[in-house]
Structure 1
């Protein structure tokens, strides 16, 4: 299995006072959940060049006989300065194994909160860590990814206090000798 880091905008000297700065974007809060997986390392923070995330796609590897890593990547679909017809895709650290599934999009507005489906450690059995994700759109619509059904959803993150999700950072386990879990945890960043 191969892992890839992509993107050009990373965290550069985040300020200690709000709003925070990263690259060319200012963000007002970070959305996290408490049930993320324990393995892996954090990739770079990646931001929508302009606008906010109005949808997402998941990269999933499923059905392998000996090692199922399940959720391996999350890609955000970003508007171009508030225009949903022209868009950008951003992704943080991800595993090359698996396939990208068709994206889910908010009918109106942008992504503002999330919850993560995570399987608890399985001991000597195959671990998958994060398996799926749900987002809440600004209009209240809930979107769920297409992935495996291992694990359970934890609590919802807080909601973006203003604006919507504009950035992502993922935690992915690198290659191990026996059991690769792929994506373990994720943080999202909110911009006005």
Structure 2
């Protein structure tokens, strides 16, 4: 294979790999009560299909003297068998999958604890989803905070992508949050 043929093969492979990472979406689902700390991570999409379930990475309650981060991550389980996630905090364990009995995820509400001042901040703590068939699902997590208003529903199709806002674990003996906010993307 000569240099020009190698370059063409490389470009074709690069194009297809980039194309697989990005999908066309028709709307973004957001809520207004997300936490204020952290940076937005990379958007991740189901390679094809839609999300029919989710799992959470949760740090259990640490007691009165230790720092709680609570919700550290969200994974989407896709109809093709793929599992996708955006940025995830380092603490906690993954829960078992919670899935729609029929259909796919189409809307969500986020449980967030308001800033605690000198107290222990956790930011996002849990999530609820609505399935296309009307079933409501709730994650298995801590009970800090309260749920805000529901996002809009996917106008067409269902949830196919995720982007999370996570505060990096910066203070070894300080007050850390982890997941603060999330956006979901809808695909036809």
> Shorter-chain TM-score category?
0.7 to 0.9
SS at match of 1:149: coil
Q: Deviations over 1:127-149 (max 9, x none)?
A: 00000000000000000000000
CA distance in 1, matches of 2:87, 2:130: 23
Q: TM-score, normalised by structure 1?
A: 0.84
Structure 2 residues without counterparts, runs of 5 or longer: 1-17
Say if 2:154 is the partner of 1:156.
Answer: no
Q: 2:59 aligns with which of 53, 58, 61?
A: 61
Q: State the distance in 2 between where 1:26 and 1:71 align.
A: 28
Offset, 1:63:
2.1
User: Is it true that 1:35 corresponds to 2:24 in the alignment?
Assistant: no
- 1:8 corresponds to which residue? none
Q: Say which structure is richer in strand.
A: 1
Name 1:105's counterpart in structure 2: 99
Larger-Rg structure: 2
Relative to the length of structure 2, the TM-score reads 0.86
1:191 matched residue in structure 2 = 187
Matched residue SS, 1:27: coil
Gaps of 5+ in 1: 1-11, 13-20, 81-86
Q: Secondary structure at the match of 1:113?
A: strand
State the Cα distance separating 1:88 from its structure 2 match: 0.8
Q: Structure 1 residue runs of 4+, over 2 Å off? A: 21-24
Say which SS state the counterpart of residue 94 (structure 1) adopts: coil
Aligned-pair Cα RMSD in Å? 1.4
Distance of 1:96 and 1:118 partners within structure 2: 19
1 or 2, which has the higher helix percentage? 2
Distance 2:111 2:169 in 1: 22
Matches within 5 A, 1:18-167: 23-65=21-63, 66-80=66-80, 87-167=81-161
Work out whether residues 67 and 175 of structure 2, in 8 Å CA contact, stay in contact via their aligned partners in 1. Answer: yes
